[in-house]
Amino acid sequence: MKVCGKSLGFLARAAGALVLFVTAFVACRGNPQAESQVSKLAPADTESAAADSTRVASLDAKSAPLSYPAAVRGTHVDRYHGESVDDPYRWLEELDAPPTRAWIDAQNRLAQPYLERAPSHAWFKKRLTQLWNYERYGVPVKEGGRYFWLRNDGLQNQSVLYVADSLAATPRPLIDPNQLSKDATISMSDFEVSPDGRLVAYSLSDGGTDWDSWHVRDVVTGKDLPDVLRYTKFTGVSWERDSKGFYYSRYPELGAAGSGKGDDSKQVSIYRHRIGEPQSSDRQIYAVTDHPTRNPYGVLTEDGRFLIIDLFDSYAVNGVYYVEMAASGSATPRVVRLLDEWKAQYTFLGNRGAELFFLTTDDAPRGRVIAIDTANPARERWREVVPQAEDVLGTAHYIGGSFVLSYLHDAHAQVKVVDAAGRPRPDLSLPGLGKVEGFTGSQDDPETFFSYTDYLTPAAIYRYDVATQKLDVFRRPRVEADTSVYVTEQVFYRSKDGTRVPMFITRRKDFVKNGSAPVLLYGYGGFNSAQIPAFSASVLAWLEAGGVYAVANLRGGSEYGEDWHEAGTRLKKQNVFDDFIAAAEYLIAERYTSKQRIAALGRSNGGLLVGAVITQRPDLFAAALPAVGVLDMLRYHTASANARQWSSDYGLSENADEYRALRAYSPYHNVKPGACYPPTLVTTADHDDRVVPWHSFKFAAALQAAQGCANPVLIRIETRAGHGAGKPVWMQIEDIANQWAFLTQHLQMTPAGTMRAATSQ
């Protein structure tokens, strides 16, 4: 998902999160759950059948059904807890097999002409290009007196890392991924600056894969050192205080030595790399030997005293160990199991001598900050620095001897500051109801930076001095569009069980509730991920075309703390779908829209959401966009060790109760022959190694075979992309133009006049 983020929090990427939004464009061993299998895979003539069936009967949604590429229905059957479950498209899990590749090619030959011939496609592509063309910045990082930040001039496919010797100095480009490939599909997925500001460790991903390689660049010369590290994904690096090496986590090599591939069916281990030495010389610092699925990630404290080890194994709880570096010597380090009860989440924030600070849900489902003295770590000796509040404490940062606390109040950000003793200092004032990110910095330096954004405000970067409370704008981008004609309102509605759920609705100020507006309803609902207002050029294009954009804050996220998250997981996952269905019904009942003009959108775990709601309520939506979704819930965990860790939200089909819950809503397994499903465009990428694309392949094949009316079911498969991270701008624009053009065809939209007006701006 980035399903998936780190529960400890100091490396959100470490678990390979399923979290990707339309506003952003920022694992197992076999099949252990099946009791027995009867396997008769698709016959060998599938390749020719798929290749021959590419005819498009019509581009008119009201005409006869499309002629879909042939997908032979196999006879594979699995047994789960005494029940037989058909899996007729199991053969599509063989991603590189000739029949699958032929099916992919045939589906793209059907879908792309359909999408490009939509009357609005050319306009969306042009307008998206115009709206995307604005300067964007990342949150600066300060190390060794230098400042580092990402910048995109507007239409650069990949953002460039800049460095400046001071805030007054002229910044210069340091790492430009756009120069690394002709199609701009090599991206920089992460970077970490050494404490002396002289070196930058950075990781590269090729073609959208989560696998990356780490490199080291000299800041002064702009040249790379010989160091190259492989077998990594979802890991950052943590520099030693002398800047001569760093700690990182890596998978074992797959197969024979020299294969160059990592084995993500196994666990990672923490290694120490010394600059200038080959990876083969890296020393293993820690590996989990007493549990089959826990993965360790390490971060060194700023004073170099402790190596904090986060053990990730779910999105609800984690463990924390540490190594005291001065006592570790050159022998095998002594690992102290500080937090090993696996009953809550703990995010390491920093230390003051022997005292370690954590943001935790321990006895606080909405979060609190505690201090643990390593000399007296017993629970009764813990010191509460910031108690739990009514609002959710989403993130905390220890900067300049104070804690900067970002709370969620009804799914939008509020920022408070307290000193190390927990005494309040003046709150930080924000421009509106939006989202903040950043607050990078040092516990000894009061200078920090953060970004603020909302649905109508591009992310602006601010400099904040924690000691003086001085707040300055560092960079503020401008979009060539008039956003003043729009407004975001927050409403609250009741779900099926009476739960009060918030929703943001962005629309024109002169909007009239008469049931005629085309509404795009977005949701996610999982993995403790809150859906907070953030700007998106793609959403602005949708608004300009006459649409309304709604985001429902479903259970499963973190909007109201761990209780809200848990209420949308495992045996309670149906609550998420009920919340989304209730959001659509509210929008219809309140006359924002009608069943003929509302569409459902979701990505990743949100793709599961859309797949579930259209199979449960095919009558409710006029169009559906499930993107890179988790759609086969009985086998999702077989793809990788990372995918298996999603079980903290989903459960596992190996367990009888969880199997029954999964079987009840699994989109692939609940497609009913002869039902009339809404016009649906499934999107995925054949290089997606987070949510493997066979989820989308199997679901699309099942929908196409079952469709009982003329509504089209299309699948568009990108062949040089992954789950979404690092996707070049040109590819993002093409992807959104396809999706929005599809919607305008099926929501009875006639936005030509609006489009002409917007183009003339």
Neighbour tally for 291: CB within 10 Å: 12
DSSP state of 16: -
**Does the pLDDT at position 186 exceed 90?**
yes
**Does the pLDDT at position 24 exceed 70?**
no
Is 604 designated active site? yes
| Residue 49: both structure tokens together | 């059948």
What pLDDT, on the 0 to 100 scale, is given for residue 49? Answer: 34
What pLDDT, on the 0 to 100 scale, is given for residue 307? Answer: 98
**Does the pLDDT at position 244 exceed 90?**
yes
**Does the pLDDT at position 223 exceed 90?**
yes
**Does the pLDDT at position 330 exceed 70?**
no
**Does the pLDDT at position 719 exceed 90?**
no
pLDDT category, 21, cuts 50, 70, 90?
Answer: very low
Nearest by Cα to 188 from 559, 637, 728, 687: 728
Mean pLDDT calculated for residue range 713-718 = 96
Q: Count of alpha carbons within 13 Å of 451, Cβ hemisphere only?
A: 24
pTM for the structure as a whole: 0.91
**Does the pLDDT at position 315 exceed 60?**
yes
**Does the pLDDT at position 461 exceed 80?**
yes
What pLDDT, on the 0 to 100 scale, is given for residue 721? Answer: 78
H, E, C per residue of 515-535: CCCCEEEECCCCCCCCCCCCC
Positive or negative: CA dihedral 732, 735, 739, 741: positive
Phi, psi of 59, deg, nearest 5? -100, 5
Q: pLDDT, tens digit, for every residue of 636-675? A: 999 998 899 999 999 999 999 999 999 999 999 999 999 9
* Contacting residues for 705 by C-beta, under 8 A, at least 6 apart: 68, 71, 73, 673
pLDDT category, 480, cuts 50, 70, 90?
Answer: very high
Phi, psi of 565, deg, nearest 5? -65, -55
What pLDDT, on the 0 to 100 scale, is given for residue 26? Answer: 25
Q: Please, are residues 449 and 140 in contact by the beta-carbon 8 Å criterion?
A: yes
Q: pLDDT, tens digit, for every residue of 56-94? A: 333 444 455 799 999 999 999 999 999 999 999 999 999
Mean pLDDT calculated for residue range 383-399 = 97
Q: Please, are residues 413 and 430 in contact by the beta-carbon 8 Å criterion?
A: yes
Positive or negative: CA dihedral 229, 230, 232, 233: positive
Of 406, 604, 653, 696, the active-site residue reads 604
| Mean confidence (pLDDT) of the chain | 90
Return the higher-pLDDT residue of 188 and 25: 188
Q: How would you classify the pairing of strands 519-522 and 447-454?
A: unpaired
Is 669 designated active site? no
What pLDDT, on the 0 to 100 scale, is given for residue 331? Answer: 60
Of 76, 215, 723, 746, the active-site residue reads 723
Mean pLDDT calculated for residue range 415-427 = 94
Strand runs labelled E in 325-434: 335-339, 346-352, 355-360, 368-373, 383-386, 392-399, 402-409, 412-419, 424-428
Q: Please, are residues 227 and 194 in contact by the beta-carbon 8 Å criterion?
A: no
